[in-house]
Amino acid sequence: MFMEHLSKTDPQMAQLVIQETERQRDKVRLIPSENYVSAAVLEASGSVLTNKYSEGYAGKRYYEGQQYVDEIERLAIQRAKELFGSESANVQPYSGSPANLAAYYAFCRPGDTIMGLALDHGGHLTHGWGVSITGDFFNAVRYQLHPETHLIDYDMVRQMARQHRPKVIMAGATAYPRLIDFAVFAEVAREVGAVLVVDMAHIAGLVAGGAHPSPVPHADVVTTTTHKSLRGPRGGMILMKKVHAKAINKAVFPGLQGGPHNHTTAGIAVALKEAATDEFKAYAHKIVENAKHLAACLNERGFALVSGGTDNHLVLVDVSKKGITGKPFAKAMDRAGLEANYNTVPFDPRPPMDPSGVRLGTPAVTSRGMGKPEMEKIATWMDRVAKSVDNEAELDKISGEVKEMCRTFPAPGISI
């Protein structure tokens, strides 16, 4: 922690950063979109690169003094292409949402039809949900999961694509615990003349490590965040076929953004190098192994799992079967040292702010070196929480046990 100067300049802020660091150290973090970056990624992200403005692209900037920034961006692009087998890459998007918006902007105009997975069935806001700009500016139609299996209904996808002829079909999810058949989506997109965009934000690290099928051979464009399972800084990235590179690059800049965040680009480059190692491949497979074991342990303890289990990093649990709802359960878990988020489940009769489920993920706990024995402990603690939502003494007792376990699994990048 580089806190010497911050502690002198702004003690209040320094204290908040320290408290957040301690929280990340002492809790079991089960939010599937969160992780721990390495000390190397932290150093790159907190470097003097934050001082430099670099509007444009490498070799074609509007500011001078880009000798080293250009090389950093080129390095990040090359590493992204090599890691994912992509023809082209753009590493400038500020996050996953602008990356998705750039993909739409490259191929659509306001009012054009786009198609994506419904938010309340596991999709993302930017896949065409009404409260997002993607659902407001475009004519968004949304496919759903099968009501019995809670798997993507590929027959519905094909039927809706034929009916609505979307300009863009979006595949990918934010709360879907199973593998996605990208080949089927590609077949449907070709049939109706649509551009296939895959949002792999959640599974990018799994794809990089060979623990999930890659969308890159099938999709025209692949968007992703660079944190989550990829274990990089908070940023975005777009992979695409060469034929679409000009349109995508123009959509990112000058279409949606100004200068890229060079310190983030450097952090992305470091994370991509780390993700190309055998160690990371083992990590990606361990994420899935832990998620499957956690799901099995929860099932044994009477929790209802959406789709019955998981194939990836994510477990979606319908806690209403335990006689509680998602929001109070997530808050009780947090007090007990188990960090998750409440989440809707498919065909959820409850409102989004107090839905029936919670969403769990294993990227962060796997980064700490936890394995099957710890997944069993987590499932046991969750069962105890479900029986003690209003029992603060019991929740505090569990929190102490969680903290004790965390002491034996150092968090990457955290030195206090």
Residue 1 has pLDDT above 70, yes or no: no
pLDDT in tens, 90-129: 999 999 999 999 999 999 999 999 999 999 999 999 999 9
Domain boundary among 275, 309, 343: 275
**26 is a domain residue:** no
User: How far, in Å, CA of 237 to CA of 223, rounded?
Assistant: 6
Q: Determine the pLDDT at residue 416.
A: 65
Other Cβ atoms closer than 10 A to 143: 24
**12 is a domain residue:** no
Q: Are residues 105 and 156 in the same domain?
A: yes
Q: Are residues 167 and 252 in the same domain?
A: yes
**349 is a domain residue:** yes
Size (the chain), residues: 416
Who contacts 40 (Cβ-Cβ below 8 Å, separation ≥6)?
270, 274
User: How far, in Å, CA of 84 to CA of 223, rounded?
Assistant: 12
Q: Are residues 154 and 190 in the same domain?
A: yes
Q: Are residues 138 and 253 in the same domain?
A: yes
Q: Are residues 121 and 230 in the same domain?
A: yes
Residue 193 has pLDDT above 80, yes or no: yes
The count of structural domains within the chain is: 2
Domain boundary among 241, 275, 309: 275
How confident is the prediction for the chain on average, in pLDDT?
97
- φ/ψ of 318, rounded to 5, equals -90, 100
Residue 378 has pLDDT above 90, yes or no: yes
Q: Are residues 250 and 347 in the same domain?
A: no
Sign of CA dihedral 228, 229, 234, 235: negative
User: How far, in Å, CA of 39 to CA of 18, rounded?
Assistant: 16
Question: Which three-class secondary structure state does DSSP give residue 99?
Answer: helix
**167 is a domain residue:** yes
**416 is a domain residue:** no
Radius of gyration of the chain (CA): 21
Q: Are residues 123 and 81 in the same domain?
A: yes
Q: Determine the pLDDT at residue 205.
A: 98
Report whether 194 contacts 144 (CB < 8 A): no
Q: Are residues 294 and 262 in the same domain?
A: no
Strands 304-305 and 314-318, bridge-based pairing = antiparallel
Residue type present at position 355: P
Give the CATH number of the domain where residue 204 resides: 3.40.640.10
**281 is a domain residue:** no
**143 is a domain residue:** yes
DSSP 165-201: --SEEEEE-SS--S---HHHHHHHHHHHTPEEEEE-T
Q: Are residues 116 and 248 in the same domain?
A: yes
Mean pLDDT of 179-187: 98
- Exposed / middle / buried, residue 176 (Cβ in 10 Å: 0-12, 13-18, 19+): buried
pTM of the model: 0.96
**267 is a domain residue:** yes
> Which domain does 341 fall in, by range?
287-407
Residue 27 has pLDDT above 60, yes or no: yes
Q: Determine the pLDDT at residue 4.
A: 87
Q: Are residues 231 and 374 in the same domain?
A: no
- Exposed / middle / buried, residue 74 (Cβ in 10 Å: 0-12, 13-18, 19+): middle
Report whether 389 contacts 375 (CB < 8 A): no
Q: Determine the pLDDT at residue 379.
A: 98
Residue 203 has pLDDT above 70, yes or no: yes
Q: Are residues 254 and 340 in the same domain?
A: no
Cis bond before residue 254 (omega within 30° of 0): yes
Q: Are residues 132 and 213 in the same domain?
A: yes
Kindly list the catalytic residues. 53, 55, 199, 225, 228, 234
Domain boundary among 214, 248, 275: 275
pLDDT in tens, 207-265: 999 999 999 999 999 999 999 999 999 999 999 999 999 999 999 999 999 999 999 99
Q: State percent of the chain over pLDDT 90.
A: 98
**pLDDT category of residue 2 using cuts at 50, 70 and 90:** low
Give the CATH number of the domain where residue 397 resides: 3.90.1150.10
- φ/ψ of 315, rounded to 5, equals -125, 125
User: How far, in Å, CA of 42 to CA of 268, rounded?
Assistant: 10
